[in-house]
Amino acid sequence: MKKRDLIYTALPAFMLAACTSTGILYPKRQPHSSSSPLETIEATNTLIIFYDSEMGSERLMNAVREYGAKIVYEYRNFNGIAIKLPNGTDMEKAASHFRTVKGVLSAEADRRMQLHSEHNGLR
C-alpha cells in the first residue's frame, strides 16, 4: 500500500475519532423550557468591544486604561478588542460605560455557549 493510500484511509478514521459523545463531560440536565437552541454555560469577566475604524481606537484604549481593565486580544480584521475587567465589576455597567465612548460601535459580554442537546440530538 502506498503511503498516500494509507493517509487517505487513516485520515477519515482520525477525524471520526474526534467525534465523541459529551455525556461524560456534561452531565444530563433537566429538560429546558426555553425554545432557544443555545445555552450560556459560563460567563467570563471579558468584554468584546468593536469600534469605528475611521474614528480609531485611541479614545477606547484610553477608556480601557482609565477603567482599570486589561487588553486581552486585539481583533485587527474586525476593529475590535477583548478586555478583561477588574474582579467584581458589574458586566452590564461596564458594557454601558464603554458604549458611551466616542467611536465604540458595540460592547458585549463574552460568553461561552453550547448547543442544547435536546435540539441537536446528541443525547
Q: The domain that contains 73 carries what CATH number? A: 3.30.70.80
Average pLDDT of the segment spanning 89-106: 96
Counting the structural domains of the chain, the total is 1
Q: How many CA atoms lie within 13 A of 70 on its CB side?
A: 5
Q: Is residue 33 part of a domain?
A: no
The pLDDT tens digits for 18-71 are 554 444 444 455 444 445 555 555 568 999 999 999 999 999 999 999 999 999
Which of 88 and 41 is assigned the larger pLDDT?
88
Q: Is residue 72 part of a domain?
A: yes
Contacts 24+ apart (CB under 8 A), 22-26: 22/117, 22/122, 23/123, 26/114, 26/117
Range of the domain at 52: 38-112
| Radius of gyration, alpha carbons of the chain | 21
Tell me the three cell numbers of residue 5. 493510500
